[in-house]
Structure 1
Amino acid sequence: MQRQVILASTSRYRLELLTRLRLPFEVQAPEVDETPLANETPRALAERLALEKARAVALRFPEAIVIGSDQVADLAGEPLGKPGDHARATAQLRRMRGQTLIFQTAVAVVCHATGFEARDLAPVRVVFRELGDAAIEQYLQAEQPYDCAGSAKSEGLGIALLESIDSDDPTALVGLPLIRTARMLRAAGVDLL
């Protein structure tokens, strides 16, 4: 018998990505405080939140295999979260133009019943083009990426903002590194094929 799989997330992007694996799963909100701790690095923040999300939902569903994920845009060690609105997205993109960021994308898989717990990080190096204010405004009006870390959707028009993307897990920048997720699900006992 295969265990229930649950995605501990409210992200529509993660839901869409996990659907690619063609396995039945449910979605539960993790209800975790995402406030960074004092002096917490973007990498540590992403790893901690991915694990906390998975653990929080696994406590409610101890027999299930739970996936948690988090992404933090890292600009020279400073965490950039989801902008939430147009003004903050504009400010983020202005700061990021011509810069190299690391999108720290963490994933964790937890099953209380079996004691399984694993986590991994899929850092993505992204170089932003030199962007004029008019290009930033045009992009934000077209895509309104206010719920995306770093204010840009690489899977959409946001790709035009970038010079390059360097990653060994191509879905990591969208928010869920599927190669790592599949590896951990197999280790937890989920038959993907």
Structure 2
Amino acid sequence: MRRNEDQKRDEAGRPDRRTVLADAAIGVLADLGVRGLTHRAVDAAAGLPVGTTSAYLRTRQALLTALVRRLVELDQGELHAMGERMPVRSATELVHGIGELVRRRLAGDGRRRSLARYACAVESVRDPELREILVPRDNAGRAAVRAFLAEQGVPDPDRRTATLLACVDGLVFDHLVSGGEPGADEIEGLVAAALRGASASQEPYGPR
């Protein structure tokens, strides 16, 4: 299994063992589903001796909690970096940024994280601790969207931002299940809905 570039490291520069295990668990969950998430499977995926995972994360609940915390950490890092790298100054830029995020979450490691994330979301329905960890958090990406919608005079930009990002999440899920990537018209439709009622006048998507 490919080691994640965002893994934490100890004082000797080695990847933090709990982070290694959490990353391996994400891969196991994505590949094998909830029933396949076992301590032994995580040991194998991480390339570590049998019993390593249970030594660090003794129960299944501890393993699942570590996995979810790592997922949130990776997602937050991704959204923060995108928000800092791509300021939102127009609807066209917002469409572009959402498109990049969706493509990231439908391919490669991003796809595996998405599969694991939705599996954890289902588990959280019956697990208040997981549900609390998965509550959407603020980050530079969310803040950039909210600031742009506020500048456009959108009513209740906080709620509109939350709705837009929930719709983006649903778009990822839909294409994760059905395959393929969303067309530009799907993303433009979400942005148009988010801008509905804006007081500022502008071309919806600017020059193509």
Q: TM-score, normalised by structure 1?
A: 0.30
**Structure number, greater radius of gyration:** 2
Q: TM-score, normalised by structure 2?
A: 0.29
More helix by share: 2
